């Protein structure tokens, strides 16, 4: 073996990445953790909700409203709505970040998705509160 192999020190961050200031936002662990917290919360909440919906299948509106209006059910429904839309928003964020490559389209998709999640979550929560209060 003769002659030196040309080597250069390669920084872990690319030059362009450094210039644009796009490094770790120190929020990755938080995203990961909250996704797990909401997932754990959704395990009992989902089981409870599926059982409740099966029991309510085909029931007339007054029965459904009375069920929603019970404080126990209303509180659990609000928890379910909060955990579902938070978990959903975190999951879809990762999907969008993985598949939408153009920066502009990615930003727009993330904003639209988050707006939809917040709006739908609020509609669901307000519906429960309107029936319960």
Partner 1 sequence: MDTREATYRGHKTDGAPVRRPMSPHLQAYDMMQMSSATSITHRITGCALAVGTLLLVWWLAAAAAGPDAFATAQSFIGSPVGYLLLFGWTAALFYHFLNGIRHLAWDLGYGFEIPTMYKTGWAVVAGTGVLTLLAWIVGLAVQ
Give contact residues for partner 1 (rule: CB under 8 A): 5-8, 10, 14-17, 20, 22, 36, 39-40, 42-43, 46, 50, 53-55, 57-58, 61, 64-65, 68, 77, 84-85, 88, 91-92, 95, 101-103, 120, 123-124, 126-128, 130-131
Supply the minimum distance, in Å, between the C-beta of residue 2 and partner 1.
Answer: 15
Closer CB to partner 1, 27 or 102, in the complex: 102
Q: How many Cβ atoms from other residues are within 10 Å of residue 68's Cβ?
A: 18
Supply the minimum distance, in Å, between the C-beta of residue 52 and partner 1.
Answer: 11
Q: Say how far apart CA 15 and CA 6 lie, in whole Å.
A: 20
Closer CB to partner 1, 26 or 98, in the complex: 98
Supply the minimum distance, in Å, between the C-beta of residue 9 and partner 1.
Answer: 11
Contact 83, 42 (CB under 8 A): yes
Closer CB to partner 1, 76 or 88, in the complex: 88
- Distances 60 to 28, 74, 97, 124 between C-alpha atoms, Å: 46, 18, 43, 20
Supply the minimum distance, in Å, between the C-beta of residue 16 and partner 1.
Answer: 4
Closest of 35, 42, 37 to residue 84, by C-alpha = 42
DSSP 23-80: ---S-HHHHHHHHHHHHHHHHHHHHHHHHHHHHHTT--HHHHHHHHHSHHHHHHHHHH
Closer CB to partner 1, 26 or 56, in the complex: 56
């Amino acid at each position: 073996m003769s002659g030196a192999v040309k080597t250069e020190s390669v920084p872990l961050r690319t030059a362009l990445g450094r210039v644009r200031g796009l490094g770790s936002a120190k929020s990755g662990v938080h995203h990961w953790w909250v996704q797990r917290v909401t997932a754990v919360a959704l395990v009992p909440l989902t089981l409870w909700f599926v059982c409740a919906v099966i029991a309510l299948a085909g029931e007339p509106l007054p029965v459904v409203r009375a069920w929603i209006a019970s404080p126990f059910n209303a509180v659990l429904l609000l928890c379910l709505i909060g955990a579902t839309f938070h978990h959903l928003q975190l999951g879809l964020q990762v999907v969008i970040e993985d598949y939408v490559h153009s920066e502009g389209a990615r930003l727009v998709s993330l904003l639209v998705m988050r707006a939809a999640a917040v709006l739908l979550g609020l509609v669901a929560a307000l519906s429960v509160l309107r029936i319960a209060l």
